[in-house]
Homo-oligomer: A and B are copies of this chain.
């Protein structure tokens, strides 16, 4: 199998019509602090890759059960899973139930931590630019996605928000934010990349859940 992408939290291999993701044990954060909103690898923790994969499998299946199309096919082992190939759209679609992380830093002084938001944001996926916020009009004009694709991504993200909020509230937990990525396959959009503790923030009584705690919840 050919390695086609070496990422911060996973490597991606090509396997005929599929992709195989290998989930690494790397931790994301800023400086010393673990934060799934972080863009730097700040260390490793044994078992972290396998925990993320279990979460990804769980959430992709949860979405599929609710009629959301994703690229997930099957888990292969502790660290690897098979996905459909799709043409990646270079955007992160962020749903913010409450204000946290980069939103607080961006609008410091204009927003309270954990203030209710319920908004969708698009950022351009480009590490060298710091994943800048981008408006829907700019996405269209720069040829990154069509107006119809933008509409579909927003609609799907809101549906996923409802599914995740209901799931976590049934466990007496609070979801703060999550991000999705989308890809094109056979003229339709799929949710791609991963959905896990690395792509969402969940709180219990005002305290962020660790990967291990999140794993217990879905176990």
Is A141 within 8 A of B118, CB to CB?
yes
- Cα of A117 to Cα of B135 in the assembled complex, Å: 12
- Give the nearest-CB partner of A105 in chain B: B129
Interface residue total, chain A, C-beta cutoff 8 A? 27
Grouping DSSP codes into helix (H, G, I), strand (E, B) and loop, the A interface class, with mixed when no group exceeds half, is mixed
Question: How many copies of the polypeptide does the oligomer hold?
Answer: 2
- Cα of A132 to Cα of B138 in the assembled complex, Å: 15
Q: CB within 8 A of A144: which of B109, B110, B138?
A: B110
Is A129 within 8 A of B108, CB to CB?
yes
Tell me whether A133 is interfacial, beta carbon within 8 Å. Answer: yes
Tell me whether A45 is interfacial, beta carbon within 8 Å. Answer: no
Chain B residues, CB < 8 A from A108: 129
- Cα of A120 to Cα of B126 in the assembled complex, Å: 22
- Cα of A152 to Cα of B109 in the assembled complex, Å: 26
20 more CB-based (< 8 A) A-B contacts, given A119-B138, A133-B133: A106-B132, A107-B124, A107-B132, A108-B129, A109-B126, A109-B128, A109-B129, A110-B126, A110-B142, A111-B142, A115-B141, A116-B141, A118-B141, A119-B141, A120-B137, A121-B135, A132-B133, A133-B134, A133-B135, A135-B135
Q: Interface on A for B, CB 8 Å cutoff?
A: 103, 106-111, 115-121, 124, 126, 128-129, 132-135, 137-138, 141-142, 144
